[in-house]
């Protein structure tokens, strides 16, 4: 295959970038190792800047129609209110945090890409080698039986690749190899990015002392489209609405509880908040520790890191998806110019600097959120909560916090 841009990773960031490029006539292939999309709800938060970034893909309207628009947040201890903030006061066309399971977000993006370029997304493709020649990028790997070997877009590739051979190439055999010749490659292959490892990119990594247990349960709270934080001595409990009468619960734990089941999480929530959850109705459960990673550079010749491959931040605060989409929205016009023969080296240096700075800001915000949610002795917790309650009564402070929580 000969294409303009090869994207490694068919998650939300890779799909969004592919859509933006295809709409500009760039020939794109998306190489995704998973044969099927994950049904796990995973990331659920889409912040206002993320929706703005996605406007160019044509899916923002469908996302906002299907998701829950969280227009306000509340901080409580048990059933006593400590503070309330309104995201609707923030200066944005989307004055809310949108809650939608990642599985549905990916489905919408994939359907949009297939409507524009039916064969651009290739599942069952694992990239195992990458060579940057200085004028192009060569990728090689293995593909599962029946994986499609076509690329799609609107124009012939620029640079040394020559014209595309066209037509479909059905990969046969249990482990058929493939090769891709691209003008540029973008690694959007996740926090444990194999491509980043192939590049030998130096990464600053840190494992934090915070652990969480989260799950999705039927919503019996009566809180509607309000996000709620319970600040309790044993650790924070977060509660966010999802479509279909479901609610996401996240509880801070003193150690990683990988062996816990839905009953354990339901018991934690009841003990700390008084809310009763139906363990039998649990539809997703996950335990995780917090890890951060930031490469020292995101641009490596003609190969570029984006999304979680470029910056792993804490899931607390739900900033990861939006960060990745902002990467894609800023990168797409540069790559479009590059495949048309323009020099983009200086612009890529600036993009690299801005995106790493944005990741550091998001990581600092996440660390602040986690610090507020760690266990405290009851007496200190009462003092801290009283001070927070008094502080949030000041409208400018509440508005500032609302902007920070919505990445503005």
pLDDT above 80: residue 350: yes
Partners of 27 in beta bridges: none
2-19 tens-digit pLDDT:
999 999 999 999 999 999
* pLDDT for the residue 39: 75
At 335, the pLDDT band (50, 70, 90 cuts) reads: very high
DSSP state of 158: P
At 157, the pLDDT band (50, 70, 90 cuts) reads: very low
* pLDDT for the residue 254: 94
Distance (Å, whole) CA 272 – CA 178:
53
pLDDT above 80: residue 269: yes
pLDDT above 80: residue 149: no
Q: Looking at 304-405, list the stretches that DSSP marks H as alpha helix, in order from N- to C-terminal side.
A: 320-339, 345-372, 378-392, 395-405
pLDDT above 70: residue 207: yes
> What is the H or E stretch that residue 265 is in?
helix 262-273
Q: Read off the pTM.
A: 0.91
244's tokens: 């279909």
DSSP state of 160: G
From residue 21, how far is each of 192, 203, 240, 302, 337 by CA, in Å?
25, 28, 33, 16, 10
- Choice among 82-96, 209-223, 321-335, 358-372 with the minimum mean pLDDT: 82-96
* pLDDT for the residue 391: 81
Give backbone dihedrals phi and psi of 177, rounded to 5 degrees, phi first: -85, 160
pLDDT above 50: residue 174: no
* pLDDT for the residue 393: 77
pLDDT above 80: residue 188: yes
pLDDT above 70: residue 166: no
CA dihedral (115, 116, 119, 120) positive or negative: negative
314-328 tens-digit pLDDT:
999 899 999 999 999
Helices (H) and strands (E) in the chain, counts: 10, 18
Map residue 18 onto helix, strand or coil: helix
pLDDT above 80: residue 79: no
The predicted model gives 247-265 an average pLDDT of 97
Cα 381 to the center of its chain, rounded Å: 32
Distance (Å, whole) CA 138 – CA 72:
48
Q: What rounded mean pLDDT belongs to the chain?
A: 90
Partners of 361 in beta bridges: none
The predicted model gives 209-220 an average pLDDT of 96
pLDDT above 90: residue 261: yes
At 347, the pLDDT band (50, 70, 90 cuts) reads: very high
The predicted model gives 304-311 an average pLDDT of 97
Query: For the chain, how big is the Rg over CA atoms in Å?
Result: 22
pLDDT above 90: residue 164: no
% of the chain surpassing 90 pLDDT: 78
CA dihedral (91, 94, 96, 99) positive or negative: negative
101-148 tens-digit pLDDT:
999 999 999 999 999 999 999 999 999 999 999 999 999 999 854 444
């Amino acid at each position: 295959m000969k294409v303009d841009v090869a994207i490694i990773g068919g998650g939300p960031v890779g799909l969004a970038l592919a859509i933006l490029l295809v709409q500009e006539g760039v020939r794109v292939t998306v190489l995704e190792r998973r044969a099927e999309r994950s049904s796990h709800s995973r990331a659920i938060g889409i912040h206002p800047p993320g929706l703005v970034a996605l406007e160019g893909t044509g899916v923002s309207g469908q996302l906002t129609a299907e998701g829950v628009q969280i227009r306000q947040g509340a901080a409580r201890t048990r059933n006593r209110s400590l503070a309330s903030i309104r995201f609707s006061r923030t200066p944005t066309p989307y004055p809310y945090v949108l809650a939608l399971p990642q599985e549905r977000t990916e489905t919408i993006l994939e359907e949009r890409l297939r409507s524009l370029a039916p064969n651009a997304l290739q599942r069952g493709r694992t990239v195992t080698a990458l060579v940057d020649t200085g004028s192009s990028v060569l990728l090689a790997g293995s593909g599962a039986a029946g994986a499609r070997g076509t690329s799609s877009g609107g124009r012939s590739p620029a640079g040394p690749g020559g014209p595309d051979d066209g037509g479909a190439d059905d990969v046969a055999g249990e482990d058929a190899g493939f090769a891709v010749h691209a003008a540029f490659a973008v690694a959007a292959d996740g926090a444990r990015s194999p491509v980043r490892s192939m590049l030998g990119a130096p990464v600053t990594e840190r494992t934090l002392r915070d652990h969480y247990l989260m799950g999705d349960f039927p919503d019996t709270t009566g809180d509607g489209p309000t996000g709620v934080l319970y600040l309790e001595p044993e650790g924070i409990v977060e509660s966010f609405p999802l479509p279909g009468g479901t609610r996401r619960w996240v509880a801070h734990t003193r150690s990683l509880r990988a062996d816990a089941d839905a009953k354990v999480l339901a018991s934690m929530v009841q003990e700390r908040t008084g809310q009763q959850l139906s363990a039998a109705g649990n539809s997703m459960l996950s335990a995780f520790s917090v890890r951060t990673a930031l490469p020292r550079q995101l641009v490596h010749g003609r190969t570029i890191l984006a999304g979680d491959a470029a910056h792993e931040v804490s899931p607390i605060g739900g900033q990861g998806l939006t960060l990745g989409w902002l990467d894609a929205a800023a990168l797409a016009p540069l790559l479009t110019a590059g495949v048309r023969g323009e020099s983009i080296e200086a612009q890529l240096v600036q993009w690299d600097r801005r995106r790493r700075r944005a990741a550091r800001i998001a990581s600092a915000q996440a660390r602040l959120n986690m610090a507020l949610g760690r266990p405290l002795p009851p007496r200190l917790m009462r003092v801290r909560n009283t001070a927070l309650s008094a502080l949030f009564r000041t409208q400018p402070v509440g508005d500032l916090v609302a902007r920070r929580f919505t990445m503005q």
